[in-house]
Every structure is written in structure tokens, then in C-alpha cells.
């Protein structure tokens, strides 16, 4: 029979030489299992006298715990090697493309309208709406544009067939009819903006038969043209993100406002490139004025009591200027290449707190 | 409105530069559109005389000319023009000059061995016309060495301004000068508007022959005859000005009428007396069926609402719009009758629109003339005719009581400040109005203001405020922020208006790109999608493809898809939120949400996730849209039916109870092919108006009670008839499982081996979530049995063996 030392060193050698967790387990069973060599030696202690048993027992216990510790240590080592081997085998070429994500964009028009709403919301405006198919009265007459008025001819109106009474509806040529609808349905004070589709029978490089406008109307006590100026300067500077943007008010004419003003913003034109901001040139961006007393009267308001201002701007125009979109007609073409380039990420919500310029690609 | 600098200065005494004036015009409401200053461009060109011209020794078509430009030496120039010859006067460009027509700076040169130091120019080389027949030939008395542009009247810059419809008074140079003088940019010069008596009675009389209630159509007209005239070319100053504004000089008499129209904004009409049939010009309404050939050589059909002027032979002038060819002025005219009238603006506009004649006269008449002009301009014009064409003028004949233009408007002292916020000294206010021609008298706390006869646009005190404000300067408007009533801004959109904003994000989040397409489409497509009603057909579409208001947003999305497909983008997912029209009344407009997908789910890739788009993509899009609108997917029923433009077996209507909320499907193959789409296209559409706003219960959610007990799942595979809708099985399973059921998922659909023809296998998993105690096996068994029983009873389903 081998001595304990010989058995012990044989087992320890075997542990050291084990190359797999399975081999190590076999060694453990051979040494410490129920019928393992060390276990059998422990069982043999029963036949010894007390003194011998004590000595041999002590020795055996030391050997047993030494072997256990070595097996455990070896296990850790072998597990780590096995894991590393697996990880090496599991290698993937991470330069392969990931699964394609959806690449959808929001249209610059809806984006721009949201920016406009965000700014005017800060100034206490509410969004109002009206129908695209309008009566002649709301689109023209109530706005102080009687039949045969030269201003009417400039509108290039689309007409629908006359009804039994000979009245023909029109596609609204501007968002201004909603001014009338708002004043008819509510009492002052009023602060509304009206983004929406508008139509004129004109189709060339700079005109589309359908386009978008945003109307604004403010009626209240003591609202004067200085407020119009302040409100629109505040808007232009916020929208274009230029704090010192020069804004110029120029006398003009709209039948539904008096006095009327065109609003220009400063810019620089250099070799076809346009930069919004203080410069040596001006760009016309919107029309405005104090609501004509005749329009107030048409809506049942007393012009001596209430006054206010109105304005209207082309959404496409301000979007083109802000985002450098060169061609009006591309807005309605739904060209995916254009949308990917000029569109906006859906989660990029314009807001005053997070900014109005848009980010992401 | 075009005019020249010198023309303006004819009416405005000023020491201001043109630059100053161009800067202030837009600030007065007169928007400068174009300025053409040819002087700078033509500055180097001088008048020269060709002293001698000899054949070039080495070139057949060239001549060697010695040119005198007033210096001490003659200059040698080689010239190829056929008309270059000794003794002629022409235009010379010296060395160093930039010649715009050939885009070249001239240098000392040599042409085939002969020195050439400059150039004799053609009109095209100077870019003053396209004429390149030879070099310019000037009159014998043209001053050698003088500036050509000054000599030819090309040194007078042309200015074009846009005139808003209210400023008819600025359709004459004098009106513009008046505005400038009011703004402190000079002094309005007097013109001689004293009457000119004339020396004989006009052989032509005027008569107004309209029903009494129509007499307002011509409230005032004056006329006068001229005899012994010598018509010919108009004087150079007049011809140059007309040319500068783009008009072709015709003859002195015609040019005078055109000149006065631009000068004073006063259209005139001239008849050749020798061509008038009879001795009377009658102003009347045309008779139906009458025709007239106008000065533009076109023949017009007149009707009984059109005011015309004619002689015994019939009408030969459409009042305020265009004269007739028959009685018009020619080069040989010696006797002229000149008519200066006021016609009703609306009548002129209506007739002009009906006949589609756009003339300078109509433009001015329909915007309104100086109501007193038939009186005061008569002498002014007569003197001009006499000065240029000689002859004698008759006494004036006039007709009509005159238009009612006098009115008084009260302007309160504080009105300007109340309306504009601008403080304009009262004295300055009066001064401005007076400078613009208004007459003013004091009144309690304000003034009574009478507008001048040329300001028909002034309607009330707001118009007076505008006059004062624009002349005082909009730059003085105070800038005031809008008073804010809330410290924290309130939402600008209500819950209904917020829905499209959220929908757009949700749909884009699903990979759908937003499109904006036209609200109109072709008739065929309108009909295909349930529209095409005659009440929604545009009377004047820009093309037949855009002639009907759309009944659905789908067709224009399909057209967009086809355009993209043709550009090589055949995998496409787009949506639109926009109006559709069920009728022409406001309450028949709907806000549609529509989306289409075609091709594959995405680009080709190596993971294997790419698949063909199918109807379930459209269904999911619709369900997501509805869930954004507050409709739970579990509350929706699907009715397997839909409109004709969908594949009859692959479409569905989404219902909540009995209300239709939306529909989805695969587009019918014939519809897809109509649009030229080559792959399967699926889509959905719903109207926001059909989806009720969810009732607001405030922001707080209901209390969430989470069960502490474990959920259990059980799977069932049923075999049932092929024609039984899956929704029927799910409903049966759900109701049988009772209140503990928290989810049912259908996870397998199978037909084929081991399943009888006409049958299918559907596998569902149910999740049971107990609330009071963990479920025991017998309890689970009982529920399973109930599920199996219900599936059998309601759907004829048996558990798959």
C-alpha cells in the first residue's frame, strides 16, 4: 500500500496536469469521492487505536483540505481558460452593418409650422383653423375686397362651379378668411395664428398652385402698430435665430389692413449665397397692418372700441430662407432623396426650451 | 410703373441724388423693382467722325479708317462694317473702353498689319439693341467728341416701381413727385394747367346715350378738336423717354397720348376726325352682337354691359380700355379729336376682364383717375399738341355733371398715436396732409379733412393715419412687445389640434416619411377613390391632372410612390396628414391621415430581416395611428371588407362598436397598375373627425394594482374551418377564459401537411393573472376546458391532436 504522502503527491500531480474540467472532476472523484482513495483511507482510521487514529486523522485531514483547495483553484483556472476559448470562438465581425433602422423624416413644412406655433405660443397666441373651400364672402368681400376690385384680380383665384343661386365658392387664396371666422365667433381680446393650405392658379418656378400661409390676428384694447412691430420683430429674430436681425417695416397695401406694412429682414447676398442677418440688402418676408375698420365692422366689432393688427406669411418662403431650400416646387414632389436631405427627425421636436433650429442627421 | 430720373425731375425740384430718392421710395410705399442706369456702361463711348476710309491692303472686307474724336490727332481704326465710310458720324470706343456686347476691354492692336486703336460700334456691341447690320450712323450735326449716351438720351436712368392697387395717383410721374415732395425730398414744380380757350367750335360733339340709372358710367368727359396738325416723329426728348420705359415711339400725336398717360397718369383717347362717320361721338352701351377691331388689331365681341364710344358707323372705342382701329390716328392725321373722360371703375374692370384686354389705360381707369382731370388737363395737353404738332385747338366740349368725389373725413388729434403708437407733432400732421393735396379745417379735437380728387382710395380716418405715418416714416414706429397676460405661456393648440402633431411623430417613428401632396387631382383618380362630384371640380384648374378636389389622400401618395419608383426608389413608406373633401361645405372637409407602403420592409441586408410589405403593415400603421388618437387596439373590431380600390380579399375596416374609424388594405392590382406601380402596395386611411376625442380625465392615470401572484400561460393549437376569422376564435377564447385572462396572443397559423384541406390550425397562448391566490392545477384545468369548449362551440374548432 502506498504511503499517504505518495498518494497525496500523485493526486496533486494529477490535479496540476488536468487539462479539462471533466478530467479534474474525475481526479476529484478518484481522490475525494465516496470510494476515493483519500476517503477510503479516512474509513480505515476506524481500525486504529486512539493515538494512531488521532495522528493519522490529523494528517489525513490536512492532505484532504490541501487537495480540495488545489482542485478548487484548478477549477477556477480551467473555467477561465474554457471561457476564454469560448469567447475566442464566438468572435463576430462587428464591422458588418447593423440591422437597418427606419430612416423616416418629417416634412420641412410641418416642421416650420411647428416652429412658428412654438414662437407665437410664447406670445399668447392660439391656433385657429378654417376650411380650404371658402365662400366668396369670407375670402374677399368681408376682407374689404369687393367684386371687381383690382386686388381681387391679383389673387389668381381657383373657382368651384356656381351653385343654384349663382354663387361660386373659391379655394381660399390666403388664410385671411379665418380672421373673419374668428372675429365672428368670439369676442376680443383675440390672439390667433392660422397655419394652413392656400391656393392660387399660378404654376412656375416661384409659384405653386397650392402653398401654405400663416395668418395672425391680434385684437384688443390699445393694440397699436408699435405692438405689430414688436411682435413681428420678436418673431423674426426667434425664428431665424438671429438676435440682432434687422427688421424693416415698409408702407404697403392690403385691402383688409390700414395702415399696411410689408416686413423685410436684413440679409447679405453674395455670389448667389444668401445669409440672413445684418447686411446690405433686404428680403421681403411678410405682409401686415392694422385691421381695416371696414373689416372690423363686417365682423360686428365697433372700430372705435377695438383695434388690432393682422399679418400673413408664406410658410414655404420662410422655410426656404431658414433651411436653404432652393426650389419651391420640390416641397410637393415627395422625392425621398429630397426628404432625407431636407426632412427632420421625428423625435426632434421644436420648442422654445430645446431650440428651434433642428439637429440630428 | 416705369419712368426716368429726368422725367421725375421735370416735376420735382430737388437737390437730392437719385440714390437718395431710390432709398426713400420704398419707405413711402413705392417699391423700387428695377433701376436701369445705362450711363455708366456707355460712359466711354463718344461721337466720332470718319475722316477717311481706305481699303485694307491685306483684307477684302476691312477698311482702314481715320477717326476724329475731337482731339488733336486722328485715330486709326480697322473696321469691318459695310457702312463705314468717309464723312459719316458714328460712335467710337477708345482703347481702354469696355465694350459690353463683345465683353472685351479694347487694347491697341494690329489687324493684318494695320494698326487699330479703338472701335466703331454697332448697337448690339453697345447692348442698346440687337441691331448688328453695321456701325451706328448719327446725324450730320452730332457733336464730335461729345458723350454718345448724353447725345442719344441714354444717360437718363430708368426706374420701375411697383404700385399697389390703392395708389392710382402714382401711376403718373407727377404723383410720385408729389409723394417725394411731401416727404421732404424736394418741391413739386408747377405745371401750366390753365385753360386754353381755342379758336373755333369743335366739329365733333359728344353725347351720352345711356339709361338715366346708368349715367354714373361716364360722369364727366371733355373733348376738343385740333386742326391743321403736322403729325410726324415726336421730339427726341419725348421719344427717348418713351423708349427708356419700353414704349416704341409711333408718331407725335400717339406719343403725346402715351406720354401724358405716364406723365400725369391721365389716359387720353385720340380720334382722327377725318375717319369719324358723322359729327357726333356717342357714349353708350354696346348692342349685343356688335364687334369692334381695337388698336391691337384684334376683333372683340361686345355686349350690352360694355360702355363704348362710337360714331354713325358703330362703336370704335371700348371706354377706358382701348380705342378702335377704324378711327385711330395715323401718320397722315391732320385733324384730331381728343377725348378726356372719367368712366366708372367697376364698369371698366368688368369689361376689361370679360374681354381679357390688359391695357395701360384700363389699368389706370379701374384704379381710379383724378376726378377733375377732364377739366384741368385739357389746356395742358392742348398746349403740348400745339407745341409739337402745331395746328389750332377748338373750344372745349364737355359732358356730364362730374363725379362726386368731395367728402369730409374727421381725423381726431389723437388718432395717429392711438393707431400707430407714433407721436407725430400736430403741425407736422397737417403739413403732410396738405403737401399730399388734402384740404383741412379745424374741428373739435381734430380736423375735417377732404381728400384731393386724385385720392379715391382714401376711405376713412385709418387711411389718413397711413398717409401721415408713411410720410413721417415707419422707422419712427415704436417697438413694443405684446403685453403678456400669462407668466407661463398657455398651449397654443387644443387637444384636437394636438392630434396631427402627435400622429406625425408616431407614423414617422414607424418608418413612414411625411409627404405633402396637392389637394387636387385628376378626375379619373378622384372617381377611383370615391370622389369626382361635379361640385368639387375646379372651374379653372391649371391642368386636367389637378382639376378635382381630392376625396382621399391615397391617390396622390400613390402618384408620389410611382415618381419615386421611377427614380429607383421602389421600397417606400410615406404618409400624409391633410385635407380631403367630401363636398364643398366647410363641414364636409376632413383631415385625413393616410399612409402607403410598397416594395420591401427595408433595404437589402445580411441579417435576413427584410421582407415584402403586406397588408399587416398597413393594419399596424392604422392601429398605431388609432392608438395615438386614444383608441385601444383591444377595443377595435376588424370587418374584412373595404372600398373597391382595395384588394377584395385583403382589406379591412376598423370599427369601434358600430363606428367606422378607418380602413386599410392592399391596393387593388388594377389601381396599383393605373399609377404605374409594379409591386404590391398597401395603405390605410382614416379621418381625424371620425375618431372621437378621448374624454379628458386630467393628467392622473387610474390606480395601478399589480398582482403579487405569478401569471401562468397555456398554449392551445386549434384546427378549424379556413373561413372562420381568427378574430372570432380570439374573442371566444378571451371570453371563455374569464376575468383572470390578461393576454391572448395568436402565435401560429398553419395549413398544409396533417391539416385537412379547407381547414387551418391556429395556435394561441393565453396568460392568466390571478388577483387573490396562486392558481391551482385544477383551476387552470377548468379554464383550459372552458377555452376548448368555447372554441369548439363558437368556431367549430377542435384541439389539434
- Read off the pLDDT of residues A167-180 as tens digits, 9 standing for 90 and up: 999 999 999 999 99
B309 lies in some domain: yes
B325 lies in some domain: yes
Mutate to test the interface with A, among B455, B477, B617 (most CBs of A within 10 A): B477
Distances (CA, A) of B690 to A129, B533, B617: 18, 22, 22
List, in order, residues 6 or more apart from B516 with CB less than 8 Å away: A107, A109, A110, A331, A332, A334, B576, B578
Chain A residues touching residue B465 (CB < 8 angstroms): 258-259
CATH number at residue B414: 3.30.56.10
Residue B744's beta-bridge partner residues? B766
The partner residue sitting opposite B607, judged by closest CB among A99, A121, A336, is A99
Specify whether B352 is located in the same domain as B363. Answer: yes
CB contact under 8 A, B477 and A343: no
Give A1's pLDDT tier (boundaries 50, 70, 90).
low
Specify whether B79 is located in the same domain as B125. Answer: yes
DSSP structure string for A139-203? HTGGGT--TT-HHHHTT---EEEE-TTS-EEEE-SSSTHHHHHHHHH-PSPEEEEEEEEEE-S--
Closest Cα in chain B, distance from residue A242 (Å): 17
Closest Cα in chain A, distance from residue B69 (Å): 39
Chain B residues touching residue A160 (CB < 8 angstroms): 535-539, 549, 584
Total count of domains within chain B = 6
C-alpha cell recorded at residue B765: 397562448
B242 lies in some domain: yes
Chain B residues touching residue A337 (CB < 8 angstroms): 567, 569
| Coil vs helix vs strand at B342 | strand
B425-461 residue pLDDT tens = 999 999 999 999 999 999 999 999 999 999 999 999 9
Phi and psi of B573, rounded to 5°? -140, 110
B525 lies in some domain: yes
pLDDT at A314: 96
Q: Can you identify the CATH homologous superfamily of domain A108-342?
A: Bira Bifunctional Protein; Domain 2 (3.30.930.10)
Mutate to test the interface with B, among A229, A233, A339 (most CBs of B within 10 A): A229
Specify whether B254 is located in the same domain as B134. Answer: no
Chain A residues touching residue B509 (CB < 8 angstroms): 102, 104, 346-347
C-alpha cell recorded at residue B557: 401618395
The partner residue sitting opposite B462, judged by closest CB among A233, A292, A346, is A292
pLDDT at A360: 65
CATH number at residue B651: 3.30.930.10
CB contact under 8 A, B518 and A226: no
Specify whether B29 is located in the same domain as B55. Answer: no
Give A208's pLDDT tier (boundaries 50, 70, 90).
very high
The continuous run of DSSP H or E covering B446 comes out as strand B446-450
CB contact under 8 A, A225 and B420: yes
Whole-angstrom distance, CA of residue B584 vs CA of residue B577: 19
Q: Is the pLDDT of residue A36 over 70?
A: yes
Domain that holds residue B20: 2-37+157-188
CB atoms within 10 A of CB B420: 25
B77 lies in some domain: yes
Whether B562 and B569 have beta carbons less than 8 Å apart is answered as no
Span A134-156, average pLDDT: 87
Residue A334's beta-bridge partner residues? none
Alpha helices in B567-637 (DSSP H): 615-628
Query: Cell numbers 398715436 correspond to what residue?
Result: B417
pLDDT at A55: 85
CB contact under 8 A, B420 and A107: no
CB atoms within 10 A of CB A328: 18
C-alpha cell recorded at residue A158: 381657383
Specify whether B167 is located in the same domain as B58. Answer: no
Whether B222 and B375 have beta carbons less than 8 Å apart is answered as yes
CB contact under 8 A, A251 and B578: no
Chain B residues touching residue A332 (CB < 8 angstroms): 516-518
Ranges under pLDDT 50 in chain B: none
CB contact under 8 A, B474 and A100: no
CB contact under 8 A, B520 and A209: yes
Distances (CA, A) of A123 to A88, A238, A244, A358, B491: 62, 12, 19, 21, 11
Whether B620 and B614 have beta carbons less than 8 Å apart is answered as no
A256-271 residue pLDDT tens = 999 999 999 999 988 8
C-alpha cell recorded at residue A167: 354663387
Specify whether B515 is located in the same domain as B632. Answer: yes
Q: How many contacts (CB atoms, under 8 Å) link A and B?
A: 273
Mutate to test the interface with B, among A118, A126, A160 (most CBs of B within 10 A): A160
- This model of the complex carries an ipTM of 0.89
Specify whether B33 is located in the same domain as B182. Answer: yes
Residue boundaries of the structural domains of chain A: 4-89, 108-342
Return the beta strands (E) in chain A as ranges.
Answer: 126-127, 133-134, 159-162, 168-171, 190-199, 210-220, 247-254, 257-270, 273-276, 281-291, 307-314
Specify whether B391 is located in the same domain as B439. Answer: no
Closest Cα in chain B, distance from residue A64 (Å): 46
Chain B residues touching residue A296 (CB < 8 angstroms): none
Whole-angstrom distance, CA of residue B96 vs CA of residue B52: 23
Return the beta strands (E) in B582-620 as ranges.
Answer: 589-598
The partner residue sitting opposite B366, judged by closest CB among A97, A150, A262, is A150
pLDDT at B159: 96
DSSP structure string for B633-653? GGG-EEES---TTEEEEEEEE
Specify whether B422 is located in the same domain as B533. Answer: no
CATH number at residue B761: 3.30.70.380
Span A124-150, average pLDDT: 93
Going by the DSSP 8-state scheme, the letter that residue B286 receives in this structure is P
Instruction: Please tell me which residue of chain B has the smallest CA distance to A202.
Output: B542
C-alpha cell recorded at residue B564: 419615386
pLDDT at A356: 86
Whole-angstrom distance, CA of residue B179 vs CA of residue B9: 13
Chain B residues touching residue A353 (CB < 8 angstroms): none
Q: What is the largest CA-CA distance in chain B?
A: 129
Closest Cα in chain B, distance from residue A81 (Å): 31
Instruction: Please tell me if residue A99 touches chain B, with a CB cutoff of 8 Å.
Output: yes
Query: Cell numbers 481500525 correspond to what residue?
Result: A47
Phi and psi of B60, rounded to 5°? -65, -40
Chain B residues touching residue A107 (CB < 8 angstroms): 514-516
Return the beta strands (E) in B524-643 as ranges.
Answer: 548-549, 572-581, 589-598, 637-639
Amino acid at each position: 500500500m502506498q504511503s499517504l504522502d505518495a498518494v497525496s503527491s500523485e493526486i496533486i500531480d494529477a490535479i496540476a496536469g488536468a487539462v479539462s474540467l471533466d478530467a479534474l472532476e474525475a481526479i476529484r472523484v478518484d481522490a475525494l469521492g465516496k470510494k476515493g482513495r483519500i476517503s477510503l483511507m479516512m474509513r480505515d482510521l476506524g481500525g486504529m487505536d486512539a493515538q494512531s487514529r488521532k495522528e493519522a486523522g490529523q494528517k489525513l485531514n490536512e492532505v484532504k483540505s490541501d487537495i480540495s483547495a488545489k482542485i478548487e483553484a484548478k477549477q477556477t483556472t480551467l473555467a477561465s481558460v474554457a471561457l476564454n476559448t469560448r469567447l475566442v470562438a464566438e468572435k463576430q465581425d462587428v464591422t458588418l452593418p447593423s440591422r437597418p433602422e427606419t430612416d423616416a423624416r418629417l416634412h420641412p413644412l410641418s416642421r416650420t409650422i411647428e416652429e412658428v406655433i412654438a414662437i407665437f405660443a410664447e406670445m399668447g397666441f392660439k391656433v385657429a383653423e378654417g376650411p380650404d373651400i371658402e365662400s366668396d364672402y369670407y375670402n374677399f368681400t368681408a376682407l374689404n375686397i369687393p367684386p371687381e376690385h383690382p386686388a381681387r384680380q391679383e389673387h389668381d383665384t381657383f373657382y368651384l362651379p356656381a351653385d343654384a343661386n349663382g354663387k361660386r365658392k373659391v379655394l381660399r387664396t390666403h388664410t385671411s378668411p379665418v380672421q373673419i371666422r374668428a372675429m365672428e365667433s368670439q369676442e376680443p381680446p383675440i390672439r390667433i395664428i392660422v397655419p394652413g393650405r392656400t391656393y392660387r392658379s399660378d404654376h412656375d418656378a416661384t409659384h405653386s398652385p397650392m402653398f401654405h400661409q400663416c395668418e395672425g390676428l391680434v385684437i384688443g384694447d390699445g393694440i397699436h402698430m408699435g405692438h405689430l412691430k414688436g411682435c413681428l420683430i420678436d418673431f423674426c429674430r426667434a425664428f431665424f435665430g438671429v438676435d440682432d436681425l434687422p427688421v424693416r417695416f415698409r408702407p404697403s397695401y392690403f385691402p383688409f389692413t390700414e395702415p399696411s406694412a410689408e416686413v423685410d429682414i436684413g440679409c447679405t447676398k453674395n455670389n448667389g449665397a444668401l445669409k440672413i442677418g445684418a447686411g446690405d440688402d433686404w428680403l421681403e418676408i411678410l405682409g401686415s397692418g392694422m385691421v381695416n375698420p371696414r373689416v372690423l365692422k363686417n365682423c360686428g366689432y365697433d372700430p372705435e372700441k377695438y383695434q388690432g393688427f393682422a399679418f400673413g406669411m408664406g410658410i414655404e418662403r420662410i422655410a426656404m430662407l431658414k433651411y436653404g431650400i432652393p426650389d419651391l416646387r420640390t416641397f410637393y414632389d415627395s422625392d425621398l432623396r429630397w426628404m432625407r436631405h431636407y426632412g427632420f427627425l421625428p423625435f426632434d421636436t421644436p420648442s422654445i426650451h430645446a431650440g428651434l433650429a433642428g439637429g440630428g442627421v | 410703373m416705369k419712368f426716368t430720373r429726368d422725367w421725375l425731375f421735370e416735376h420735382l425740384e430737388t437737390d437730392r441724388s437719385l440714390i437718395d430718392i431710390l432709398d426713400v421710395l420704398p419707405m413711402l410705399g413705392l417699391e423700387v423693382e428695377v433701376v436701369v442706369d445705362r450711363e455708366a456702361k456707355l460712359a466711354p463711348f463718344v461721337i466720332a467722325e470718319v475722316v477717311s476710309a481706305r481699303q485694307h491692303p491685306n483684307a477684302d472686307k476691312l477698311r482702314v479708317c481715320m477717326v476724329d474724336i475731337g482731339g488733336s490727332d486722328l485715330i486709326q481704326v480697322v473696321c469691318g462694317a459695310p457702312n463705314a465710310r468717309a464723312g459719316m458720324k458714328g460712335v467710337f470706343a477708345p482703347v481702354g473702353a469696355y465694350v459690353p456686347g463683345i465683353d472685351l476691354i479694347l487694347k491697341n492692336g494690329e489687324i493684318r498689319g494695320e494698326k487699330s486703336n479703338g472701335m466703331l460700334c454697332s448697337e448690339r456691341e453697345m447692348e442698346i439693341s440687337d441691331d448688328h447690320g453695321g456701325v451706328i450712323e448719327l446725324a450730320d450735326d452730332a457733336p464730335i467728341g461729345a458723350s454718345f449716351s448724353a447725345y442719344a438720351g441714354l444717360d437718363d436712368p430708368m426706374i420701375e416701381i411697383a404700385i399697389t392697387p390703392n395708389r392710382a395717383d402714382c401711376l403718373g410721374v407727377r404723383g410720385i413727385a408729389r409723394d417725394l415732395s411731401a416727404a421732404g425730398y424736394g418741391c413739386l414744380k408747377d405745371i401750366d394747367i390753365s385753360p386754353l380757350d381755342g379758336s373755333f367750335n369743335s366739329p365733333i360733339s359728344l353725347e351720352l346715350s345711356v339709361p338715366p340709372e346708368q349715367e354714373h358710367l361716364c360722369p364727366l368727359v371733355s373733348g376738343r378738336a385740333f386742326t391743321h396738325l403736322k403729325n410726324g416723329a415726336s421730339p427726341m426728348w419725348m421719344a427717348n423717354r418713351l423708349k427708356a420705359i419700353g414704349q416704341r415711339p409711333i408718331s407725335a400725336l400717339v406719343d403725346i397720348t402715351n406720354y401724358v398717360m405716364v406723365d400725369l397718369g391721365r389716359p387720353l383717347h385720340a380720334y382722327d376726325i377725318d375717319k369719324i362717320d358723322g359729327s357726333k361721338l356717342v357714349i353708350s352701351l354696346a348692342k349685343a352682337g356688335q364687334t369692334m377691331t381695337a388698336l391691337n388689331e384684334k376683333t372683340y365681341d361686345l355686349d350690352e354691359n360694355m360702355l363704348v364710344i362710337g360714331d354713325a358707323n358703330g362703336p370704335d372705342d371700348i371706354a377706358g380700355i382701348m380705342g378702335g382701329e377704324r378711327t385711330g390716328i395715323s401718320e397722315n392725321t391732320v385733324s384730331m379729336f381728343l377725348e378726356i373722360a372719367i368712366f366708372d371703375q367697376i364698369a371698366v374692370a368688368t369689361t376689361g376682364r370679360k374681354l381679357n384686354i390688359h391695357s395701360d389705360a384700363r389699368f389706370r381707369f379701374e384704379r381710379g383717375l383724378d376726378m377733375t382731370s377732364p377739366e384741368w388737363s385739357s389746356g395742358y395737353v392742348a398746349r403740348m399738341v400745339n407745341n409739337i404738332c402745331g395746328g389750332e385747338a377748338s373750344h372745349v366740349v364737355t359732358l356730364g355733371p362730374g363725379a362726386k368725389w368731395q367728402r369730409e373725413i374727421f381725423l381726431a388729434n389723437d388718432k395717429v398715436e392711438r393707431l400707430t403708437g407714433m407721436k407725430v407733432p400736430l403741425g407736422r400732421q397737417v403739413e403732410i396732409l396738405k403737401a399730399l393735396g388734402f384740404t383741412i379745417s379745424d374741428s373739435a379735437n381734430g380736423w375735417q379733412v377732404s381728400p384731393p380728387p386724385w385720392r379715391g382710395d382714401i376711405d376713412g380716418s385709418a387711411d389718413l393715419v397711413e398717409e401721415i405715418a408713411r410720410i413721417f416714416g415707419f422707422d419712427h414706429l415704436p417697438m413694443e412687445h405684446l403685453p403678456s397676460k400669462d407668466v407661463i405661456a398657455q398651449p397654443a393648440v387644443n387637444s384636437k389640434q394636438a392630434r396631427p402633431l402627435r400622429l406625425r411623430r408616431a407614423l414617422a417613428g414607424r418608418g413612414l416619411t411625411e409627404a405633402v401632396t396637392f389637394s387636387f387631382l385628376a378626375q379619373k383618380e378622384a372617381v377611383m377613390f370615391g370622389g369626382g362630384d361635379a361640385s368639387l371640380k375646379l372651374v379653372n384648374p391649371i391642368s386636367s391632372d389637378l382639376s378635382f378636389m381630392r376625396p382621399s389622400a391615397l391617390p396622390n401618395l400613390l402618384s408620389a410612390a410611382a415618381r419615386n419608383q421611377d427614380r429607383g426608389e421602389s421600397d417606400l413608406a410615406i404618409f400624409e396628414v391633410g385635407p380631403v373633401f367630401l363636398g364643398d361645405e366647410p363641414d364636409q372637409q376632413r383631415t385625413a391621415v393616410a399612409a402607403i407602403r410598397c416594395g420591401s420592409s427595408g433595404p437589402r441586408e445580411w441579417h435576413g430581416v427584410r421582407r415584402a410589405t403586406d397588408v399587416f403593415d398597413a393594419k399596424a400603421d392604422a392601429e398605431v395611428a388609432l392608438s395615438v388618437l386614444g383608441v385601444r387596439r383591444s377595443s377595435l373590431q376588424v370587418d374584412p371588407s373595404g372600398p373597391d380600390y382595395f384588394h377584395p380579399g385583403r382589406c379591412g375596416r376598423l370599427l369601434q362598436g358600430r363606428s367606422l374609424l378607418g380602413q386599410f388594405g392592399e391596393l387593388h392590382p388594377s389601381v396599383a397598375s393605373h399609377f404605374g406601380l409594379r409591386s404590391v402596395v398597401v395603405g390605410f386611411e382614416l379621418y381625424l373627425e371620425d375618431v372621437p376625442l378621448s374624454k379628458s380625465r386630467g393628467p392622473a392615470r387610474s390606480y395601478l394594482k399589480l398582482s403579487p401572484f405569478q401569471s401562468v400561460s397555456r398554449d392551445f393549437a386549434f384546427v378549424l374551418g379556413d373561413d372562420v376569422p381568427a378574430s372570432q376564435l380570439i374573442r371566444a377564447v378571451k371570453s371563455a377564459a374569464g376575468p383572470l385572462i390578461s393576454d391572448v396572443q395568436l402565435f401560429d397559423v398553419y395549413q398544409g401537411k396533417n391539416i385537412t384541406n379547407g381547414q387551418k390550425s391556429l395556435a394561441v397562448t393565453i396568460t392568466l393573472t390571478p388577483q387573490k391566490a396562486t392558481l391551482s392545477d385544477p383551476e387552470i384545468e377548468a379554464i383550459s376546458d372552458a377555452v376548448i369548449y368555447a372554441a369548439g362551440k363558437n368556431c367549430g374548432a377542435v384541439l389539434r391532436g
